[in-house]
Every structure is written in C-alpha cells, then in structure tokens.
Structure 1
C-alpha cells in the first residue's frame, strides 16, 4: 500500500531542495521525496510503499535543517 504525505514549507530554491532531499534520503532511503516549488506553499511530498510515514519525524527533521514544515491535510 502506498502512503503519501504533503507538507507546506518555506524552501525557496532548487539548491536547498536538492540538499534537503539528499539529506532525507540518507536517513529515509525507502521514501520517494520531491518538492513543488512552483506551488505557493512550496510543497514537500513524501511517498512510501508501506503503511505509515512518521509525519512528526519529518517535520522535526525539517525544523532541525532550519526550515518550516507543516502537514497539509
């Protein structure tokens, strides 16, 4: 079963997005991760092929990297 979580961020450019993706994949190698910086909410999308994605962990990790991040319902 595929699970997808979508987050609003303050990531502004591709350079930062690529750095964040590389950092996340080092910790969460099974996740598929991407950004949509064309969206007004600078969307951060996380997809996994299992039941749960630790949304709290993802938000905390983004905050630790210096960015705001909130789950979009």
Structure 2
C-alpha cells in the first residue's frame, strides 16, 4: 500500500531526519520525499501504514503533514 502526504519539509537534511524517524516505526517501508513538488510530497510504501502515526511523528518534529487522497 502507498500513502501520499503533503508536508512543509523544505530541506534535504530535514527529509533525511524525518525518514530516519519514520523508519524506526515502519522499518520495512520505502519512504521518500519529493521536495521539488509544491506540496513537498512524502510517499510511504509499506504493508502496514498508520496515517495518524505518520502525521503525529512529523508534527512532533515541528512539521505539518496532511494525507492526500
């Protein structure tokens, strides 16, 4: 399953930090950011995804995150 989120992550080093934190909770996932996109897209490909947990993790690090449908 793939989930896509709109974020306000701006820098490559910020995305690297967030990916590391997300992998702690979703260890067998493929996670990437598209910082060139105007919505700073976060994509997560995993067998089990919790949108609420992903949003909470980004929020706890000071970033906005919203699931895209």
TM-score tier, shorter chain, comes to: over 0.9
Alignment RMSD: 0.9
Where in structure 2 are the equivalents of 1:1-73 lying within 5 Å? 3-48=1-46, 50=47, 52-73=48-69
Q: Please list the CA deviations of residues 6-57 of structure 1 after superposition, one character each: whole Å capped at 9, or x if unmatched.
A: 0000000101001111111122101110000000000000101x2x411111
SS in 1 for 2:37: coil
Q: Which runs of 5+ in 2 are unaligned?
A: none
CA distance in structure 1 between the aligned counterparts of 2:22 and 2:51, rounded to whole angstroms: 13
* Structure number with bigger Rg: 1
Q: State the number of aligned residues.
A: 69
Question: TM-score when scaled to structure 1?
Answer: 0.88
CA distance in structure 1 between the aligned counterparts of 2:24 and 2:51, rounded to whole angstroms: 17
Question: TM-score when scaled to structure 2?
Answer: 0.93
